[in-house]
Amino acid sequence: MVKPARYLVLFSILFFVGCAAGNRHQTTDTVLMVSPDDFAYNPQTAVSNVFQHKDAPASEAARLAMAEFDAVVEKMEKEKIRVLRVRSREDVKTPDAVFPNNWFSTHRGKTGTAIVVYPMATPNRRDEIRVDLLESTLRHSGIDLSEVIDLSGYARQGKALEGTGAMVFDRIHKVAFVSLSPRADRAVLEAFCARLGYRPVIFHSYDRNALIYHTNVMMSVGADFAVICSESIKDPNEKQMVLDELKGLGKRIVEISPAQMGRMCGNVLELRTTDGKPVIIMSETAHAAFTPDQKAILAGSGALLPFRIPTIEHIGGGSIRCMVAEIFH
């Protein structure tokens, strides 16, 4: 007969093994980052991104952004996150190249890593797409590739779906949370979900009266938590539907205010180190804006890793999550 204390020990072991398995399905220890060689205010994307600001000459912005980028890479590697670093294109200007998660995502397949390539909303962001370089970089890093699913042709129809900016994944349960916008088209989303076996959760969110351009501005999903500015979802039925979905997936919900959303608190990401420890990356801006109670909840899921990227955030309109493209292998 097994004693109750032994049942407790066995339950604890199974619980932590289950949590670790869930974390492995949701997170990766490897990211790809693109250096901001031509970083600048991008007037093409500023039409739908109210987080961008034109405050500095392009040369000064690029210099400051590169220094921030180098420091991010150094800190990530020090914290045992594997970084695959590539340069921006040299033949054409790509001011937003530092945000590669928008033009591709990777997914674990049965025979290797699958790459999905996305349609971008603006011409100079379409110039960022370099599938050949991506494939060679991953293969050179010892990552086996299974297939490339190219959805970028939808851009010719005026339709966009900007990767893990437009979609926030619960990879464990294969759910894609999507706030529709000019950068997140329903038809392309349905094509993605049909091909990858994801279930879409579709809604609309707003910063004041403007549609939020990327879902990952207002929410993030980890293995066992979700950060969300539900106040940005104006339709009460949509809001309740999204919250019910998150609760049904077993997420501990960290509600953030619109002001915190503006401080990039929604743009955080759970990764793990090469020795398997969960971490949650965020900018120093976001870290300073989270309350102590919110930080305590997040710290229960992983160590908090803040990065100083004020130029990239203020001029580029994206934060740390946007700077890393997860490589699942």
Tens-digit pLDDT profile for residues 276-310: 999 999 999 999 999 999 999 999 999 999 999 99
Instruction: Provide the pLDDT for residue 22.
Output: 59
pLDDT band at residue 6 under the 50/70/90 scheme? low
First vs last C-alpha separation in the chain: 43
* Across 35-49, 216-230, 257-271, 273-287, least confident range: 35-49
Q: Which residues partner with 236 through β-bridges?
A: none
Question: How confident is the model over 105-129, as pLDDT tens digits?
Answer: 999 988 999 999 999 999 999 999 9
Give the tokens for residue 228: 């969300």
pLDDT band at residue 59 under the 50/70/90 scheme? confident
Please name which of 327, 317, 232 lies closest in space to residue 283, comparing C-alpha atoms: 317
Q: Looking at the predicted structure, is the pLDDT value of residue 236 above 60?
A: yes
Residue 260 is inside which H or E element, if any?
A: helix 258-262
Give the tokens for residue 181: 């916008």
Q: How far apart are CA 282 and CA 317, in angstroms?
A: 14
Q: Which amino acid is at 38?
A: D
Q: What percent of the chain is modeled with pLDDT above 70?
A: 91
Q: How many CB atoms lie within 10 A of CB 188?
A: 22
Q: Residue range 170-184: average pLDDT?
A: 98
Give the tokens for residue 98: 């530092």
Q: Looking at the predicted structure, is the pLDDT value of residue 145 above 80?
A: yes
Q: How far apart are CA 135 and CA 124, in angstroms?
A: 21
Asked if 189 contacts 162 with a C-beta cutoff of 8 angstroms, the reply is: no
Please name which of 327, 54, 45 lies closest in space to residue 214, comparing C-alpha atoms: 45
Residue 296 is inside which H or E element, if any?
A: helix 292-299
Instruction: Provide the pLDDT for residue 9.
Output: 43
Asked if 121 contacts 165 with a C-beta cutoff of 8 angstroms, the reply is: no
Q: Which domains does the chain have, with CATH numbers?
A: 26-326 (3.75.10.10)
Q: How far apart are CA 290 and CA 279, in angstroms?
A: 16
Q: How far apart are CA 316 and CA 54, in angstroms?
A: 9
Classify 325 as helix, strand or coil. Answer: strand
Instruction: Provide the pLDDT for residue 12.
Output: 41
Instruction: Provide the pLDDT for residue 241.
Output: 98
User: How far are the Cα atoms of 49, 94, 166, 257, 279 from residue 46, in angstroms, in the given order?
Assistant: 5, 14, 16, 23, 31
Classify 291 as helix, strand or coil. Answer: coil
Q: Looking at the predicted structure, is the pLDDT value of residue 15 above 90?
A: no
DSSP string, 41-99: --HHHHTT-TT----S-HHHHHHHHHHHHHHHHHHHHHTT-EEEEEPPPSSS--TTTT-
Q: Residue range 261-277: average pLDDT?
A: 98
Give the tokens for residue 11: 């339950």
Asked if 233 contacts 177 with a C-beta cutoff of 8 angstroms, the reply is: no
Give the tokens for residue 153: 């042709």
Residue 149 is inside which H or E element, if any?
A: strand 145-150
Q: Looking at the predicted structure, is the pLDDT value of residue 11 above 50?
A: no
Instruction: Provide the pLDDT for residue 57.
Output: 66
Q: Which residues partner with 104 through β-bridges?
A: 117
User: Does the pTM of the predicted model rise above 0.75?
Assistant: yes
